[in-house]
Amino acid sequence: MTEKPKNRLAAVELDHSIGPGPSPEAEHERRVAIYDLVEDNSFTLIANPAGPYRLRLSTADGRLIFDVMNGGEERLSLIGLSMSPFRRIVKDYFMICESYYKAIRTATPSQIETIDMARRGLHNEGSTLLQERLNGKVEVDFDTARRLFTLVCVLHWRG
């Protein structure tokens, strides 16, 4: 078994005050995103590149808060990003997710595939935006940004 790199997230948690997901599908996506993120990620805090890190994600005053800590839960950085640039993408993403979940029950495979392609496109757009907004503060690869964007959507939906 190979040792995991140090520049990574070893633990991720969401603000507990947000409660469970707005739907079983969203709650499942949240759990899967956290699990996948912790299992495989590339995360380097530019100001303090000595990971591994613990991350608490929350929202406050229209901002997405990245509370980055070390293993001893000492704060290394508190990063606040405006949610404004994410609002349209998140709203569109949730609308298309609703269409996707409805389509799974009644649509043809080609219709489901078309909706899923649009869903993935919006997810990619949000992931790229997140990477851009974190630039200079945190370096993440695209797969890590995708998993983080899923969690941003969960927070935004309830925040």
pTM value? 0.86
Q: Is 3 part of any domain?
A: no
106 within some domain: yes
Query: Residue 92 region, left (φ>0) first, then alpha (ψ -120 to 50), else beta?
Result: alpha
Residue 21 forms part of a structural domain: yes
CA angle, residues 15, 19, 23, in degrees to nearest 5: 125
Sign, CA dihedral 128-156-29-121, equals: negative
Looking at the 3D structure of the chain, how many domains does it have? 1
Residue 65 CA to its chain's centroid (Å): 12
For 99-158, the pLDDT digits (tens) are 988 999 999 999 999 999 999 999 999 999 999 999 999 999 999 999 999 888 877 765
Domain that residue 81 falls in: 9-158
Task: Measure the CA–CA gap between 31 and 90, rounded to whole angstroms.
Answer: 18
The whole-angstrom separation of Cα 128 and Cα 134 is 10
pLDDT at 145: 96
pLDDT level of residue 159 (50, 70, 90 thresholds): very low
**Residue 98, in any domain of the structure:** yes
